[in-house]
Amino acid sequence: MSKQHAVLTPWVIAALGVIGMLGPFGTDTYTPALPSMSRDLNVSMPLVQLTLAAFTIGMAVGQFVAGSLSDRIGRRAILLGGGTLVALAALAAAFAPNVYMLIVLCAVMGLASAGGITGGRAVVADLVDGVGATRPFTILGMVVSLGPILGPIGGALVLSVFGNWRAIFVALAVFAVIGTIGVLVLVPESLPHEKRHRGGLLAVFANAGKILGNRQYISHALVLWLTFGIMFAYISTSSFIVQENLGLTPGAYATSFAVNGIGVVVTSFITARLAGRVDPKRLLLIGVIGQCVAVVGLVLIWATQFVQSMPIFICLFVLVVSMGFVYGPVTALAMVQVRFAAGTAVALLGSIQFASAAISASIVGVVSQNAFTALVVVASCAEVLVLATVIAGAVIARRNPQPVSR
């Protein structure tokens, strides 16, 4: 189907959001069942938690593979194939006889779900030119961001009704089938045959080199990667900060996490409404300033040892919700000049994004035994790099103005 006949309607974005949610939703859905999985499979908790690591690594690797492949065979094949494979792997995981098989199947689910994340972004890049993609990218990110919020709730609900962790994977398989059917019915092919790349692996790496050498792309991609690293530093430390440093209950942590998650959805909605009327660079700047304010606040709290619940909650809230102003604009700006290989470009965004998350989560574990100190150190370093990248990007743009396609 040609670009003239393929239109990015709200239904298409909704379908792309659901299939793209499979990865974030899948990793969080069975987290409430980790203790029961450990008991049922008769293994240690760290071994069960390897399923999460396998899922995340699968998403990081899978996005590069899926994105590059979609430049050759089209977007629908990746979206439909990925959704189908997630459904099959999730169903098999429900009957996994041991934790080792479960780890392998979670890695497969991660690889397959990457098709939904990368394919959805590529469809948007195919159908909307330039910074005009800010709104659809933001809406898509908003829908996908519901996954980490709804995942634990859905998993806990299934666990309470059926009393067995295996039912969660059956439910995940059903969700994957629904998402795949939505793509089949609603999402057209957005990459015409004449625009597909016929080269092999060498062509993929050649395109990747051109993309990473594009100043417009790399300056905005760095902002996305670093801010996502800050987000995962928060995710990795928030439960310890709330429960150990502040001495509050698990319920208080769940409430604060949910409030912050809802805040991201709200700011994403605001960004989507402002897109088209406000320059995406200004929206991005709002998000970066919000993060800076939050990080400075955390540094002051750490320096003065004024470790009180309300100031920390406020700073964490601002730090997290600022991401809603960053994701859509920075993705649209990164993609402006690299649409000749949109699949590979969004794959690099996604793969390094999840690699950044993994590195950030690992660093906070070794920087300090104090979770709050670890978050302050990692977030401060990352935010300094974000500011440096934004300033350098602005200087480059003034010295070497380039036309922006719309």
Task: Tell me the domain boundaries of the chain.
Answer: 10-186, 211-399
pTM of the model: 0.72
Q: For 211-399, give the CATH class.
A: mainly alpha
Question: Is residue 84 pLDDT above 90, yes or no?
Answer: yes
Mean pLDDT over residues 121-127, rounded? 85
- Per-residue pLDDT reduced to its tens digit, 225-254: 888 888 877 876 776 787 777 888 767 777
Q: What mean pLDDT do residues 105-124 have?
A: 90
Instruction: Rounding to the nearest 10 degrees, give the CA dihedral for residues 371, 99, 357, 124.
Output: -140
Report the pLDDT value the prediction gives residue 81, as an integer from 0 to 100.
Answer: 94
Mean pLDDT of the chain: 82
DSSP 327-395: HHHHHHHHHTT-GGGHHHHHHHHHHHHHHHHHHHHHHHHHH-SSHHHHHHHHHHHHHHHHHHHHHHHHH
Write out pLDDT tens, residues 185-231. 999 898 888 777 766 666 677 777 888 888 888 888 888 888 888 88
Nearest-angstrom CA–CA distance, 293 and 284: 14
The answer to whether the CB of 298 falls within 8 A of the CB of 319 is yes
Rounded Cα distance, 230 and 210, in Å: 27
Architecture of domain 10-186: Up-down Bundle (1.20)
Task: Please give the structure tokens belonging to residue 206.
Answer: 């050649």
* C-alpha–C-alpha distance, residues 187 and 180, integer Å: 10
Query: Poorest-confidence range of 67-71, 171-175, 316-320, 338-342?
Result: 338-342
pLDDT tens digits for range 363-375: 766 665 677 887 8
Domains 10-186 and 211-399 share a fold: yes
Predicted pLDDT at 102: 94
CA distance readout (Å), 161 to 33, 153, 157, 167, 184 = 13, 12, 6, 9, 31
User: Which positions ≥6 away from 339 have C-beta within 8 Å?
Assistant: 125, 126, 129, 345, 405
